[in-house]
A and B are shown apart, each in its own frame.
Chain A
Amino acid sequence: MRKSSVAPYLLLLPVLSLLVIVILIPALAAFTQSLSDAPIGRPSTFVGFKNYAQVLSDPNFWRAAINTFVIVNVVVFGEAILGLGLAVLAAGWMPLRGVFITALLVPYAVSEVSAIIMWRYLFEPDVGAANWVLETLFGVQLLWPINSIHGLTLVSIISIWLTLPFTFLILYSAIRTVPKDLIEAALVDGASRPQIFWSVTLNVIKPALLIAILFRYIFAMRLFAEVWLLTAGGPAGQTEVLSTYLYRFGFRYQNPGVASATGWIMLVMSLIVAAFYLRRLQKASPTNA
Chain B
Amino acid sequence: MPNIGFPEKALRLLLAAIAILWSCGPVYFIVAASFKDPVNIFAVPPTLIFEGTLDNYRLLFRDWPQFVQGLINSLIITVGATLLTIAVSTLAGYALARFRGRGLTASSFFLLLVRMFPPIVLTLPLFGFVNQLRMNDTHILLIVFYAAFFVSLSSWIMKSFIEGIPVELEESAAIDGASTWRILRSVILPLSANGIAASSVFIFVYSWNEYLYALIFTTRNARTAPLVLSEILGAVEGVQWGVLFAAVTVQLLPILIFVIAVQRFIMAGLTAGSVKG
Which residues in A have some Cβ–Cβ distance to B below 8 Å?
1-4, 7-9, 11-12, 14-16, 18-19, 21-27, 29-30, 33, 40-41, 85-86, 89, 92-94, 100-119, 121-122, 124, 126-129, 132, 161, 164-166, 169-170, 173-174, 177, 187, 193, 205, 207-208, 211-212, 215, 218, 221-222, 224-225, 229, 243, 246-247, 250-251, 256, 259-260, 263-264, 266-267, 270-271, 273-274, 277-278, 281, 284-285, 288-289
| Nearest-Cβ distance from residue B133 to partner chain A, whole angstroms | 12
Contacts of B151 in A (CB 8 A): 15, 18-19
A4-B103, A7-B180 as given contacts; A110 in contact with B27, CB under 8 Å: yes
Contacts of A187 in B (CB 8 A): 2
With beta carbons under 8 angstroms apart, the residue of A24, A25, A208, A274 that contacts B275 is A208
B226 within 8 A of A: yes
- Cross-chain contact A103 with B23 (CB below 8 angstroms): yes
Residues 1-38 of chain B: 1 if any A CB is under 8 Å from the residue's CB, otherwise 0? 11010001100100110011011101101100100000
- Cross-chain contact B205 with A108 (CB below 8 angstroms): yes
Residues 122-139 of chain B: 1 if any A CB is under 8 Å from the residue's CB, otherwise 0? 111111110110000000
Identify the interface centre among A11, A102, A174, A277: most chain B CB within 10 Å of its CB. A11
- How far, in angstroms, from A221 to B118 measured CA to CA in the complex? 8
- Cross-chain contact A12 with B92 (CB below 8 angstroms): yes
- Cross-chain contact B244 with A225 (CB below 8 angstroms): no
B178 within 8 A of A: no
Contacts of B210 in A (CB 8 A): 111
- Cross-chain contact B125 with A113 (CB below 8 angstroms): no
| Nearest-Cβ distance from residue B196 to partner chain A, whole angstroms | 15
- Cross-chain contact A15 with B92 (CB below 8 angstroms): yes
- Cross-chain contact B251 with A40 (CB below 8 angstroms): no
Contacts of A104 in B (CB 8 A): 19-20, 23
- Given A16-B107, A89-B15, A111-B210, 11 more A-B residue pairs with CB atoms under 8 Å apart are A3-B99, A12-B95, A18-B148, A21-B148, A40-B124, A103-B19, A173-B270, A224-B211, A229-B230, A243-B212, A267-B117
- Cross-chain contact A246 with B120 (CB below 8 angstroms): yes
Which residues in B have some Cβ–Cβ distance to A below 8 Å?
1-2, 4, 8-9, 12, 15-16, 19-20, 22-24, 26-27, 29-30, 33, 42, 44-46, 87-89, 91-92, 94-96, 98-101, 103-105, 107-114, 116-129, 131-132, 144-145, 147-149, 151-152, 155, 167, 180, 205, 208-212, 216, 226-227, 229-230, 233, 241, 244-245, 248, 251-252, 255-256, 258-260, 263, 266-267, 270-271, 274-277
- Cross-chain contact B275 with A215 (CB below 8 angstroms): yes
- Cross-chain contact A127 with B122 (CB below 8 angstroms): no
Main secondary structure of the interface of B (DSSP, over half): helix
